[in-house]
Amino acid sequence: MARYAEPGVTEWVESGGGPLVAVPEVVLPFWTGADGDDLSSDYDRACDINGSIGLLPVGDTRALVLGDEPASTAFLPDHGTFVRWYAANSEDELLAGVPTALDTALWEPEVEWRVPGPLVVFDAAWPGDGSQRTDHLRVELEPGRYGVCAAYVSAGPETWLGLVRLRRLTA
């Protein structure tokens, strides 16, 4: 995991150039990455996602693809949001802009995602059972239904970030 500040404060995950994917831990062995046997690998399917987010079937659930750009990404549990680092002079500058960005974001349409529990975020090219050997991030989520939406926000003249919000749905 990439760290830009004190260890344990904010952990970031990066890809080798393709999209990141958030796969529920219970179906990690079913994510084949770029090694798929079919005409189209899981990695190919992830690359085919147009836009900031998309959901792909994996096992008996779905994985969340963080598309658009291969940006360094962190999960901020206090905000229930993935933050994607597009441009900033420092991590402190980027993170300081998050509250305002959340308040002013123009959110894309929300999709519903049923999450069976904790997630592992990693480069979509890796197979799920190999994700622990590469740059990855574990995200603790309670099982349930979530509304997921994304936004691209300028938090300052030289600070640009992506947001992917996970909102727990109750009804």
* CB half-sphere exposure, 88, CA atoms < 13 A: 24
Q: For residue 81, what are its two tokens?
A: 């949001």
**Secondary structure of residue 128 in the 3-state scheme:** helix
pLDDT digits (tens, 9 = 90+) for 96-131: 999 999 999 999 999 999 999 999 999 999 998 887
Which has the closest alpha carbon to 94: 111, 71, 115? 71
pLDDT digits (tens, 9 = 90+) for 59-93: 999 999 998 788 999 999 999 999 999 999 999 99
Per-domain residue ranges for the chain? 20-168
Q: Which amino acid is at 61?
A: T
The residue length of the chain stands at: 171
Q: How far apart are CA 17 and CA 168, in angstroms?
A: 30
Which has the closest alpha carbon to 13: 25, 21, 1? 1
pTM score > 0.85 for this model?
yes
Which has the closest alpha carbon to 26: 129, 145, 147, 136? 129
Q: For residue 20, what are its two tokens?
A: 């990141």
pLDDT digits (tens, 9 = 90+) for 13-36: 998 888 999 999 999 999 999 986
pLDDT band at 157 (very low <50, low <70, confident <90, very high): confident
